[in-house]
Amino acid sequence: MSQASNCADRLAQRRLPTPSLALVDAQSVKLAPRLGQQRGLDAHKRVNGRKRQVLCDTGGRIWRVVVRAANGHDSRGAQPLLPDRS
């Protein structure tokens, strides 16, 4: 879903077009051994592959997604998901 459709869906449910609360979650995904691009070892979960981080609102609408190597820390990977406050 695009951001415009998320806003329209929220308006249809009589809510503000943009959320005041958002959630960030990460999931590590195994890759086939022959794929070598952007992969890493998530030692905590014992997964060699990629990690996807998702920003969603309380209704489950996905606003942004970042996919990267699984060996990065979750807090640094979540920064691109958040709006720039400068």
Tokens of 67: 């996919």
pLDDT tops 70 at residue 1:
no
Give the pLDDT confidence score for residue 14 in this predicted structure: 92
Give the pLDDT confidence score for residue 36 in this predicted structure: 54
Pick 37 or 12 by higher pLDDT. Answer: 12
In the chain, the percentage of residues whose pLDDT exceeds 90 is 6
pTM: 0.73
The per-residue pLDDT for range 34-71, each reduced to its tens digit, is: 655 677 767 677 777 888 889 998 888 999 898 888 77
pLDDT tops 70 at residue 30:
yes
Nearest to 26 by CA among 47, 54, 50: 54
Contact 66, 80 (CB under 8 A): yes
Contact 29, 50 (CB under 8 A): yes
